[in-house]
């Protein structure tokens, strides 16, 4: 199968052509980030995002098709994100995909964006079900048990801010530019991690839920006491924040791996990390250490496939089509669409 994927659920306009499932190959993976449009507002503005998707999507699709060397005759299906996400962008992408599907006479697959993240590691690595996914991005922070295509269980999630969001808010608070993650990481490298002690929220409680809003508040309180904060203090606060987040993620990963072993005895656990926060080296290292300690496989797909992209959407389409014909022409875009809901993915899409 050769599938065109389209992704527009947040601030990346993306299109890709992917082959599979037998001979997996990414023929093209075109991404245009809107970061420049949103930077001055310190975050993604939904209305601006939707307009930017409209303006550029046609060109991005054409580019992806060109680079893949494909005409419509070579394409077997169109897969597009149908949710969850910023609804304006999702509508632009999914409706464009429907129009292409209708004009070219191809089936359309409406993909759950989170399912795209969940299945990426099967495109990049040899990975069998079941496995664990830790999704850490600007909009999501959750542990998922991936049992099969369309068969997901959310084991734990943040009860307040997503991790990327916490990085972004912390950066803003300290006067660092948006998006904050990379800047916090850079400052943290120059910081003294032992100067401030921030909490490890929720770790005193069992389960796999997480919380990051309190961390940011604790950091604000510390910073307030020292105003005006100098460069070194900012670096020290960044280091403390990053260490705290890494510790929380590592602890929850250990528990997730324990839980996996009780659910699937005899299966060597694998944990996949996805989302923009996976770019953080300290977080990666502590996840890797937690996995090694538990004799589990740790898989971090290449960064361009960890953050929002259309290759993962095309691949999720291939995984769905492998199980049988799909026709999601009557599916409507959804702002909210939990992956573990009854109608996520293949189980009931289109109904």
> Residue positions in the annotated binding site for Fe cation?
113, 117, 308
Residue 252 C-beta-side C-alpha neighbours within 13 Å: 30
- Give percent helix, percent strand, percent coil of the chain, each to the nearest 5: 45, 20, 35
Rounded Cα gap, residues 97 and 55, in angstroms:
15
Rounded Cα gap, residues 120 and 300, in angstroms:
10
Binding-site member from 21, 182, 214, 338 for ligand ATP (CB under 6 A): 182
Residue set of the binding site: 113, 117, 135-139, 168, 181, 185, 280, 308
In contact, 219 and 241? CB cutoff 8 Å: yes
Shortest reach from residue 259's CB to ligand ATP, in Å:
23
Any contact of residue 307 with ligand ATP (CB under 6 A)? yes
Any contact of residue 10 with Mg ion (CB under 5 A)? yes
| Residue whose tokens read 């209708």 | 102
Structure tokens at 122: 């099967």
Any contact of residue 168 with ligand ATP (CB under 6 A)? yes
Any contact of residue 7 with Fe ion (CB under 5 A)? no
Residues 257-316 that bind Mg ion (CB under 5 A): 308
180 binding partner (options Fe ion, ligand ATP, Mg ion, none; Cβ < 5 to 8 Å by kind): ligand ATP
Instruction: Print the binding letters for residues 113-152 with Fe ion: x by CB under 5 A, - otherwise.
Output: ------------------------x---------------
Closest CA to 111 of 351, 319, 270, 275: 319
- Which CA distances in Å does 206 have to 72, 113, 140, 210, 251? 52, 29, 20, 10, 11
Give 8 or 246: the residue with its C-beta nearer to Mg ion.
8
Any contact of residue 168 with Mg ion (CB under 5 A)? no
Interface residues with ligand ATP (CB under 6 A)? Answer: 9-11, 85, 137-140, 164, 167-168, 179-182, 185, 275-277, 279-280, 307-308
């Amino acid at each position: 199968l050769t599938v065109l994927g389209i992704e527009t659920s947040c601030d990346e306009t993306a299109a890709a052509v992917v082959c599979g499932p037998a001979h997996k190959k990414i023929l093209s993976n075109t991404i245009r980030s809107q970061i420049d449009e949103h930077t001055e507002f310190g975050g993604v503005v939904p209305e601006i995002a939707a307009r930017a998707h409209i303006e550029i999507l046609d060109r991005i699709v054409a580019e992806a098709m060109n680079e893949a060397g494909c005409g419509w005759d070579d394409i077997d299906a169109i897969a597009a994100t149908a949710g969850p996400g910023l609804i304006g962008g999702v509508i632009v992408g999914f409706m464009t995909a429907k129009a292409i599907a209708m004009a070219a006479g191809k089936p359309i697959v409406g993909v759950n964006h989170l399912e795209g993240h969940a299945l990426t590691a099967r495109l990049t690595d040899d990975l069998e079900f079941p496995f664990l996914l830790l999704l850490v991005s600007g909009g999501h922070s959750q542990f998922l048990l991936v049992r099969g295509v369309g068969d997901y269980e959310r084991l734990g999630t943040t009860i307040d801010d997503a991790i990327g969001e916490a990085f972004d808010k912390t950066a803003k608070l300290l006067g660092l530019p948006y998006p904050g993650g990379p800047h916090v990481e850079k400052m943290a490298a120059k910081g003294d991690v032992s100067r401030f002690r921030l909490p490890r929220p929720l770790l005193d409680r069992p389960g796999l839920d997480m919380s990051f809003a309190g961390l940011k508040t604790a950091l604000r309180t510390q910073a307030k006491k020292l105003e005006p904060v100098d460069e070194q203090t900012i670096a020290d606060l960044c280091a403390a924040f990053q260490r705290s987040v890494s510790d929380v993620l590592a602890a929850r990963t250990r528990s997730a791996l324990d839980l996996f072993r009780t659910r699937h005895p005899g299966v060597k656990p694998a944990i996949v990390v996805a989302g923009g926060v996976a770019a953080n080296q300290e977080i990666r290292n502590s996840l890797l250490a937690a996995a090694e300690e538990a004799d589990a496989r740790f898989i971090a797909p290449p960064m361009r496939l960890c953050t929002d992209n259309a290759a993962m959407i095309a691949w999720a389409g291939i995984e769905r089509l492998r199980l049988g014909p799909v026709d999601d022409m009557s599916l409507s875009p959804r702002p909210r669409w939990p992956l573990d809901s009854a109608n996520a993915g293949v189980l009931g899409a289109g109904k």
